[in-house]
Amino acid sequence: MPHQQFADCIKACFDCAEACNHCAASCLQEQDVKTMARCIALDIDCAEICQLAAAAMSRASECAKVICSACAEVCEACGEECARHQMEHCQACARACRMCANECRKMAQAA
């Protein structure tokens, strides 16, 4: 199965999507939601592209390399934004984003 070589990246993408979805939902519960608007928007974008990247790798799509490159960029932006906030859900999301960005870059270079 060709997708097995990308198992670590697929897992990182799913973990990141989960963390981003949790972060977005948690940010919506914060006292001052307006200050979390960019975080929420990036969480949503990041979760979506992570799911797309995992699916592309799983089916050995010829577009997987370019999708993973884009995913790494979105994860980097989301991780930087989340890292600015002290809430644990944002910090956990930032860690997941950094991990996913690293795995996606490795995948894109190896593919």
CATH number for the domain spanning 26: value is: 1.20.1270.360
Over 90: is that where the pLDDT of 13 sits? Answer: yes
The HSE-up count of residue 79 (CA atoms within 13 Å, CB side) is 18
Query: Do 13 and 103 touch, CB atoms closer than 8 A?
Result: yes
State residue 43's pLDDT score: 98
Domain coverage including residue 38: 2-110
Over 80: is that where the pLDDT of 111 sits? Answer: no
> How many domains does one find in the chain?
1
**Tens digit of each residue's pLDDT (9 = 90 or more) over 36-60:** 999 999 999 999 999 999 999 999 9
Provide the whole-model pTM: 0.94
With 0-12 CB in 10 A as exposed, 13-18 as middle and 19+ as buried, what is 22?
Answer: middle
**Tens digit of each residue's pLDDT (9 = 90 or more) over 66-100:** 999 999 999 999 999 999 999 999 999 999 999 99
